[in-house]
Structure 1
Amino acid sequence: MATIIGITGGIGGGKSTLSTVLSNAGYAIYNTDKEARRLQNEDQNIRLQIVEKFGKEAYTNNILNRSFIASLVFSNSELLKKMNAIVHPAVQEDFRKWRGLHETEKCIFLECAILIEGNFRHYVDKIVLITASEATRIARVKKRDNLTVEQIKARMKNQRKDVDLIPFADYVINTDITDLKQFDLEKFLGEILSLPLAAKF
């Protein structure tokens, strides 16, 4: 059975960069953000629930209106909880199916910004935390997503701080000092796989 390694950390920290490096090396990656977007567009039950909670404006031409939803949920924690209550169970079920397709591999990866607070941690054996300074993260996201600093900070506010996640992590990578594109992947995998399996708490 494959060892499941969770990759987590705040927006702009470098999770997706590490996932890209791993994917290019042939490892299977489940990206919860990407799959959540797919399910929000394709799963009829999810679509109906989102429209019921947020109105018909939630979809444009059968595609989730992400800017509309973001304007609501990232400024209202209760609405964010309602959105997560709709999406998270479906993503977790989808991940369980995906996991079953990769049981014979040595290790597989679950990329999830809210691995801890979203209760995805129960699915992983090891946790890798990707960190960076707030200034670095803001600069990266501003360049990548064309968001304002205020919009980025609003999203950061809804994620736990890196310092709060460190106690849960088996391995920490600070991308202010580590260039993931020049990352020693073999050394990293050797170290992370040699660690004891994480407790399922």
Structure 2
Amino acid sequence: MNRIICLTGGIGSGKTTVSNFFVEAGIPVYIADERAKAVMDEAELIAAVQALFDTPVILDNQRLNRPKLRELVFKDAELLGRLNAVVHPAVAEDFSKWLQQHQDAAFVIKESAILFESKTEGLCDEIILVTAPEEVRIQRVMLRDGVSRENVENIMINQIKDQEKRQYCHYIIENTDKSKTKLQVEKVISNILTKNK
């Protein structure tokens, strides 16, 4: 059984950059958000998600309109909770299948933006937190997604602050400079492999 190392961080912290460094090093990485998108394109889950809403406003060409969905749920904590209750079990099942395909790896990375919010940190052998200054994160997301500052801040409100997460994490990767970030990832890999011996 391989070790499950969870990688988390708030929106705009640079989890993708860090994940890519792990992939380059030959470590299997499961991106929960990407897999959730694939799972949410399945007809059964589309129906379950749509049932949460009064009107079918979140469909676009028979697929979920994610920007509209995000806009609706991040303004309504109760609705977000109900959505997560539908999506999280489906993603957990998908992860179990993925894990079986990577049994030979010394360890795997499970990247999840909402690791603590979804209360799934108990599944991790160790946790990596990717962090960056809040203003840097806001600017990254505005540039990446073409959204307003208010939109990013609304998402941040629903995410647990880094200060709270730090106490539960085994490794902290400060992601402000790519070359320094890569060195930090290499050090983390070395530490995890040493523990595996």
Fold similarity call, TM over 0.5: yes
1:94-109 counterparts in 2 under 5 A? 94-109=94-109
1:191 Cα offset (Å): 1.8
Specify the alignment match of 1:160 in structure 2: 160
The CA distance in 2 between the partners of 1:186 and 1:173, in whole Å, is 11
- TM-score when normalising by structure 1: 0.90
Q: Are residues 1:189 and 2:189 paired?
A: yes
Larger mean Cα displacement after TM superposition, 83-92 or 61-70 = 61-70
Q: Select between 1-10 and 161-170 the one with higher mean Cα deviation.
A: 1-10
One-letter code aligned to 2:158 = N
Q: Which aligned runs of 4 or more in structure 1 are off by greater than 6 angstroms?
A: none
Q: Match for residue 48 of structure 1?
A: 47
Distance, in Å, in 2 between the alignment partners of 1:178 and 1:128 is 17
Q: CA deviation at 1:151?
A: 0.1
Deviates more, 1:180-189 or 1:131-140: 180-189
Deviation for aligned residue 1:146: 0.8
Measured after TM superposition, the shift of residue 46 of structure 1 is 1.1
Residue pair 1:9, 1:162 contacting (<8 A) in 2 also: yes
Instruction: Give matches, 1:1-201, under 5 Å.
Output: 1-42=1-42, 44-54=43-53, 55-176=55-176, 179=179, 182-183=182-183, 185-194=185-194
State which drifts further: 180-189 or 78-87.
180-189
Distance, in Å, in 1 between the alignment partners of 2:179 and 2:10 is 17
How big is the alpha-carbon RMSD for the aligned residues of Structure 1 and Structure 2?
1.8
**Separation (CA, whole Å) in 1 of partners of 2:170 and 2:161:** 17
8 A Cα contact 2:5 2:107, kept in partner: yes
CA distance in 1, matches of 2:41, 2:158: 23
Calculate percent identity across the aligned residue pairs: 36
| Structure 1 residue 33 displacement after superposition | 0.6
Offset from partner CA, 1:156-177 (integer Å, 9 cap, x none): 0010000010111000111136
Alignment coverage as a number of residue pairs:
195
Which amino acid is the alignment partner of residue 166 of structure 1? R
| Counterpart-to-counterpart distance in 1, 2:185 and 2:36 | 27
Structure 1 segments unaligned to the other structure (5+ residues): 197-201
CA separation of 1:181/1:170 partners in 2, compared to 1, >3 Å: closer, same or farther? closer
